[in-house]
Structure formats: structure tokens, C-alpha cells
Amino acid sequence: MPHSDGLDPIIYTDPDQFWTALQPQLVRMKKFESWSYSTLDQHDIIHVAPQTVQFMVTFSRRHADHQAYGTAKGLWIVTCKHQHWRLQMRSMFPASGTISALAGQSG
């Protein structure tokens, strides 16, 4: 199921809230996918404005032996607010292999 499949966006107000919400998914990924880490494999800038940059990204989930077992792609939008650049929005979808769930997706 794609991350944005009819789900309302989840808005995190601070980094701690994001990491707390992500913990159950990390536990499931380790248990059911033998996930060890993820890599950002590609990022292509698709639009630049003074306060916004939009990227198409590709990342892979990997086992401890460095073998990729699943890949996802999506859009990241980074904005500068209050003189700080931060990830404002992202929407990811599974592209190949095994991606059980993406951050922000229920299940």
C-alpha cells in the first residue's frame, strides 16, 4: 500500500515526536525484515526556489550484510523557515522488493 493511499498527512511538531512515532515500525522492520539500516541511493533536484527545494529520492533497506532487500521512491520537499532548512513534506512509495511499511503509514 503506498504511503499516501488515502491517509491524512501526519504532522510532527518536533523531532522527538517523529522518532517516538517511528519506533514501533523500526522494531517490526528488525523482526520481520531483518532490517539493519537504510541508504539514500539517489536524490535528484526537480525544482529550486529561494526557500524551497523539491527532490525525487530513492532509498533502500538493507540487511547487515549490506544486501538491499527493498527499495522505495518518493518526493521530499525541504523548506527554509525561520532561517532553518528542514524536511517539510515527504511522500514515499514501495518501488521493488520488500517494503512492509513506510514511516507515517499505518500497519
pLDDT of 92 strictly over 90: no
Quote the pLDDT of residue 2: 43
pLDDT of 105 strictly over 80: no
- DSSP characters over the chain: --TTSSPPPP--SSHHHHHHHHHHHHHHHHHHH---EEEEEEEEEEEEETTEEEEEEEEEEE-TTS-EEEEEEEEEEEEEETTEEEEEEEEEEEEEE-----TT---
Mean pLDDT of 57-67: 96
Quote the pLDDT of residue 103: 56
Mean pLDDT computed over every residue of the chain: 86
Mean pLDDT of 48-68: 96
